[in-house]
Chains A and B, each alone.
Chain A
Amino acid sequence: MTDFDAIVIGAGNAGLTAATALQRGGARTLLLERHNIPGGCATSFIRGEFEFEVALHQLSGMGTEKNPFIMRKIFNDLGIMDQLTIVEERELYRVVMPSKVNKEHEIDIVLPASIKALKKTLSAHYPEESENIEAYLTLCEKLSLECFMMLPRAQKMADQTVLESTCPNYIQYGLTSSKDVLNQFFSNPDLKTVIAAYWCYIGLPPKDIPFCDLAMMIYAYAAFKPCHVQGGSQAISSALLESFLNAGGKVLFNTGAAKILTENEQVKAVQTEHGDIFSCQHIISNTSPQHTFNELLDIPTPTQVADDMKSRRLGTSAFVLYLGLDCTPEELGVTAASNFIIDDRDEEVAFTTMQGIVDPTHTMVTCYNYDDPSFAPQGKSTLSLLCLQYSQAWQDLPVEEYAQAKYDFAEKLINHAERVFPNIRKNIEEVEVATPLTMMRYLNTPGGAIYGFQQNTQDATMFRKRIDAISGLHMAGSWNGMGGFQPTYMIGESTARAVLKKIKKESEMKQQELTHA
């Protein structure tokens, strides 16, 4: 018998979810984590009186207690739903485009978190496009339903007539460039920019995002509400770990995987960085495929995997300022938890600035205690300023210049945000700066990528063959699906389900062999 049925490498969202589901499903599971705390990017850290959320901006897929959606079911099945205190956000986001000449913003709009109110708000701002808004959001809703329900069914049946009769919107718009669809529906450039602001959560400009992804985001956030969790995403990570331990799972912190050992292209064991070897039937890797196959695997990367990677491109990282401010959200002028501050209506301009360490044009400001005061000490505010950014320019810096470059860019980010929230700098009580190299340090991802590979159309699962070159080695994380919280929790859960099925089958086969023998 092997030491474990399954070993999970990495306690990020997908790893934690997979480990918990596996152990609760009866598989003897070992979870390895190179850091001292579970969560990966789903974590928090303390500075002074403040606890900073590292990565979660708006949790999707929860729904409300009355109108629950899939994530509640998943958290329930993982045994943690009753441990979490969910905070619903009232708004989707505010978009501001400051004027370059005076104090009047060129764009300033707050979108409410409800389909009906969203249509109303947008129509009030852009009355000449009110019919287009209605049509667009109706399309987003229909498309979301098709993607979620009908498309998987048609694919399972492999029946084109079913596809054609049940997924007409998907056929027409699903894989179309989001920019084309926006142009088709709207003429007001402000409106196009405002309604597409969630492109930031994917990290590619609308031109490169299949419309189904953008449509599902705005629809699902509006219909099922964006959420925060009290205690931050660390509360989810800690609850998952607790559930895993309570089910009998074993965890090793400060213990990275050093080697995946195989025999005849079948996984045999994992060797840790401390030299211990644990045998197992299955490995679920929550780390990047580059690290898994090119660095951990004891044999050359199988062609199947190498080719899969060749058609992928590294996704973006991010520069984040975590700010503890000695003033309230009201004093700061916050009117929505999530804010996009932009200098250009064209998202492709943002994508260009993301490549280097230059003046940011699109930033995000999240105020965590706007919807729930428990997210900051009394009378204070917890904020994050974020700018998507690739890491190359940071990697090219001499190490001596790193700290200064970090502060210089942080200044730019504060200046950018202060045109909307003027009193940030003078109220700073605590601040921590995270560059793309910080992401690299804590996530161990190539380029410090936060969403895995670039999520253009062809990157999607439907264009990919399941990686099965090494028997028993399974990938789970943003690298082989979408990035973000909901997708990584879901891929962890579905990977565990598939592995449990395999384990069951294997043990049935063994049983049969025994009876025949």
Chain B
Amino acid sequence: MPSTNKKNNILHAVNGYQDALDHQQELLKTGTDYNEQNGHVANTIASLHPKRIQLVVSEVIEDTASTKTLRFKAKGGFLPPFQAGQYINLFVNIDGTETARPYAISSAPQQRGFYDFTIKHVADGFVSHFLLNDVKVGDHFQSTGPMGTFYHNPLFHGDDLVFLAGGSGIAPARSMILNMIKKTSQKIHLIYASSYEADVIYINELKRLEQEHDFLTITWLISRPTENYAGRTGHVSAELLSELLGNDLETLQAKMFYICGPTSFHDFCAEQLKQLKVKARRVRIECNGPPKRPETLAGWPQNLIASDKVMVTIHKADGSQGQFEARVDEPLLNSMERNGYSAENACRSGECSLCRVKILKGSVFNPAEARLRSTDEAYGWCHSCVAFPTSDIDVLV
């Protein structure tokens, strides 16, 4: 019974006190104890942003000799909506090591019967090797919900879009293109760079779409062509972009550029757009994993070589501790996972901050990929997916 305690009896002298008490009685009569809403918050959020989705492989589609598309259905039937260009983080257990990798959803957002993930073989790729070789129809997986900010944002992206795709970076472009089929106002110029002719993913589907729809223009680019290749060759250079898109700065500025591919492709394309004086606000670059060779980056400690090893001591909140040795050029999250420790994670590229851990002692190298909050470093917080231990460290997980 909401009522006042003794000392408040003097408050009857206050104007409006009795009115408020009367109001309270009135509300009490018509109010609810909120028990009918039990589970409502959790269910509402799960329908838009589930923390985990239970997936089952429904089809394995061979795209090229080095690429497959894995089609996943939801175990419970429900897949949450996503925005074309977003990714999920797929959890895997490979010979006892629990890890995960983010994959862009390559299927269209209009249909939610399945999600497609297009996976290209990566030389020495731990997870891609597993997904391409060991996964079969009927296998079960867990993933995060769809995440990420690499999608067309109608508030400022405009209708004139350019997508620079390198290799399997075509995956989110496919979803975006499929999503545009019924949208009359947008147009997109896809500039799709592959190393070899045999590597080109979705070639038939994309050619058909280009023929059927006015909104889509495709420029194919092969960097290591065979002798008889008749199409365009080379890289996504500033010259090529000028040739294809024109030189007029105002026209270029009105476009929105999306870049997705390997890290070297990102860096190269971003540099070309800079040369063309395209402003940062007109360029979106998808994140793409931790830097491969951190020892080559600005800020890497002198005298530290990639093969150096340090001791990592893990402190769990329950007071227990564990230790393992790790190479300084391996992301902390990866070495933790190989040694049986984990941190929540999704983008594995420094952006989403889910894998945030605290360095209690010692130091780590945070590359530019680590999108840390301004106060993080002062207190030792880092994003473990892109943090490289540069001394013996103690980590709170």
Contacts and interface: CB of A to CB of B under 8 A. Distances in A.
Pair from one complex: yes
Interface of A: 30, 36-37, 44-49, 51, 154-156, 158-160, 163-164, 170-177, 210, 230-232, 234-235, 238-239, 241-242, 245, 250-254, 276, 290-291, 294-295, 301, 303-304, 306-313, 326, 395, 399-400, 402-403, 407, 410-411, 414, 425, 427-433, 437, 440-441, 444-446, 456-458, 462-466
A497 to B, nearest CB: 19
Contacts of A309: 31-34
A311 B31 contact: yes
5 contacts: A175-B17, A241-B379, A242-B379, A307-B33, A437-B48
A36 B356 contact: yes
B185 interface: no
B118 to A, nearest CB: 23
A295 B7 contact: no
A307 B16 contact: no
Given A235-B375, A465-B3, A254 B344 contact: yes
Given A242-B379, A458-B20, A301 B1 contact: no
A250 B317 contact: yes
Task: Give me the 5 closest cross-chain CB pairs, A-B, nearest first.
Answer: A175-B16, A429-B281, A310-B31, A428-B156, A306-B33
Contacts of B11: 155, 163, 462
Contacts of A242: 379
Contact of A310 (B10, B27, B38, B156): B27
Contacts of B374: 44, 51, 230-232, 234-235
Given A428-B156, A441-B49, A156 B21 contact: no
B349 to A, nearest CB: 13
Interface of B: 1-11, 13-17, 19-21, 23-25, 27-28, 31-35, 37-41, 44-45, 47-49, 80-81, 83, 112, 149, 153-156, 279-281, 317-319, 344, 351, 353-356, 371-376, 378-379, 381, 396
Contact of B41 (A36, A155, A239, A440): A440
Contacts of A441: 45, 48-49
A238 B355 CA distance: 16
A171 B15 contact: yes
Given A158-B9, A174-B14, A295 B38 contact: yes
Contact of A51 (B10, B81, B373): B373
Nearest to B25: A311
Given A307-B1, A407-B155, A464-B2, 13 more contacts: A48-B280, A155-B7, A171-B14, A250-B319, A251-B317, A294-B38, A306-B33, A309-B33, A313-B27, A430-B281, A431-B153, A437-B45, A465-B2
B7 A156 contact: yes
A390 to B, nearest CB: 14
A441 B80 CA distance: 15
A441 B155 CA distance: 22
B48 to A, nearest CB: 6
A311 B24 contact: yes
A465 B35 contact: no
Contacts of B33: 294, 301, 306-307, 309-310
B80 A399 contact: yes
A364 to B, nearest CB: 18
Contacts, number: 205
A173 to B, nearest CB: 7
A445 B15 contact: no
B10 A163 contact: yes
Contacts of A238: 373, 375-376, 378-379, 381
Contacts of B2: 307-308, 311, 463-465
Contacts of A440: 41, 44-45
B81 A234 contact: no
B226 to A, nearest CB: 40
Among B21, B33, B154, B375, max chain A CB count under 10 A is at B375
A163 to B, nearest CB: 5
A164 B13 contact: yes
A256 to B, nearest CB: 10
Contact of A395 (B9, B32, B44, B353): B44
Contacts of B28: 307, 310-311
B107 to A, nearest CB: 15
Contacts of A290: 34, 37
Contacts of B372: 46
A234 B375 contact: yes
A304 B64 CA distance: 66
A313 B356 contact: no
A46 B373 contact: yes
Contacts of A407: 153-155
B369 to A, nearest CB: 12
Contacts of B15: 171-176
A429 B256 CA distance: 11
A306 B34 CA distance: 8
Contacts of B344: 36, 254
Contacts of B1: 303-304, 307, 465
Contacts of A45: 353, 373
A402 B16 contact: no
B14 A37 contact: no
Given A177-B16, A310-B33, A411 B155 contact: yes
B334 to A, nearest CB: 18
A46 B371 contact: yes
A399 B47 contact: yes
Contacts of B9: 158
Contacts of A250: 317-319
A415 to B, nearest CB: 11
Given A295-B39, A402-B48, A465 B14 contact: no
A144 to B, nearest CB: 16
A210 B16 contact: yes
A313 to B, nearest CB: 7
A303 B33 CA distance: 9
Nearest to A210: B16
Contacts of A294: 33-35, 37-38
Contacts of B356: 36-37, 253
B13 A171 contact: yes
Contacts of B279: 326
Contacts of B4: 462-465
Contacts of A158: 6-7, 9-10
A44 B356 CA distance: 14
Contacts of A403: 81, 83
Contacts of B34: 290, 294, 309, 446
Contacts of B44: 395, 437, 440
Contacts of B23: 456-458
B48 A399 contact: yes
A231 B379 CA distance: 13
